[in-house]
């Protein structure tokens, strides 16, 4: 109970006393049912884990907490810090990331175009026949080979686009987290 109390020191006094009374009642009820304090404590879980669950992202290790340092321990980014990070990310994105992503998307479009061309090869043979009026057997075989290649490419192109879109989404989320102050530092 003492360890739990030390770890929820940032909780408002009223809430903290109510919570501690609740846990004390839990211990009392357990003792009345013949359980030892160790068994009751084991059922509840480790006090540090309980404190972390209760406080969530407001949790601060009591060894690091002193009333003077409280504002610095709570990780809130100031507006100026967010603006600075946003400006830095803007230049990083404009100078490096956007051109790389444009190249990656261009590659995706090119490979997709090749796949569509391979799948459309039989139509080109038909168009050639209609224009020139001559039926050439090797063109049909080449068209069938191209269709086979196009069919194999479908799976690769599908996975490629999934990866490109997932990478883009992860990068956007990372940008947001950096600006908002949740970059892991």
pLDDT digits (tens, 9 = 90+) for 139-162: 899 999 999 999 999 999 999 999
Residue 65 DSSP symbol:
-
Backbone phi, psi, residue 101, to 5°: -70, -35
The band of 61, judged by pLDDT with boundaries at 50, 70 and 90, is low
User: How far is it, in rounded angstroms, from Cα 38 to Cα 34?
Assistant: 12
Number of H-type helices and E-type strands within the chain: 9, 0
70, pLDDT greater than 50: no
The secondary structure element, H or E, covering residue 88 is helix 79-92
Provide CB contacts within 8 A for 174, sequence distance 6+. Answer: 183
Give residue-wise pLDDT tens across range 97-123.
Answer: 999 999 999 999 999 999 999 999 999
Assess whether pLDDT exceeds 70 at residue 14.
yes
CB atoms < 10 A from the CB of 33, how many? 9
- The tens digit of pLDDT for each residue in 40-51 reads 888 877 877 777
- pLDDT category at 73 given cuts 50, 70, 90 is very low
Q: What is the phi-psi region of residue 181: left when phi exceeds 0, alpha when psi lies from -120 to 50, beta otherwise?
A: left
Query: What is the predicted pLDDT for the residue at 8?
Result: 76
End-to-end CA distance of the chain, in Å? 31
Q: What does the domain layout of the chain look like in residue ranges?
A: 2-70, 79-180
Closest among 157, 128, 154 to 140, alpha carbons compared: 128
Contact (Cβ atoms closer than 8 angstroms) between residue 8 and residue 53: no
142 in Cβ contact with 117 (< 8 Å): no
């Amino acid at each position: 109970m003492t360890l739990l109390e030390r770890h929820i020191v940032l909780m408002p006094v009223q809430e903290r006393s109510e919570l501690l009374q609740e846990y004390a009642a839990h211990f009392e009820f357990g003792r009345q049912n013949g359980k030892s304090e160790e068994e009751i404590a084991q059922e509840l879980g480790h006090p540090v884990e309980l404190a972390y669950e209760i406080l969530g992202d407001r949790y601060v290790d009591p060894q690091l907490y002193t009333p003077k340092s409280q504002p610095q321990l709570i990780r809130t980014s100031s507006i100026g810090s967010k603006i600075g990070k946003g400006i830095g990310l803007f230049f990083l994105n404009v100078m490096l990331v956007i051109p790389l992503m444009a190249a990656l998307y261009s590659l995706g479009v090119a490979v997709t175009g090749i796949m569509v061309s391979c799948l459309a090869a039989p139509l080109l043979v038909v168009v050639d026949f209609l224009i020139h009026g001559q039926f050439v057997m090797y063109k049909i075989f080449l068209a069938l080979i191209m269709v086979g290649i196009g069919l194999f490419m479908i799976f690769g192109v599908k996975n490629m686009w999934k990866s490109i879109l997932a990478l883009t989404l992860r990068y956007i989320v990372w940008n947001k987290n950096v600006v908002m102050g949740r970059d892991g530092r």
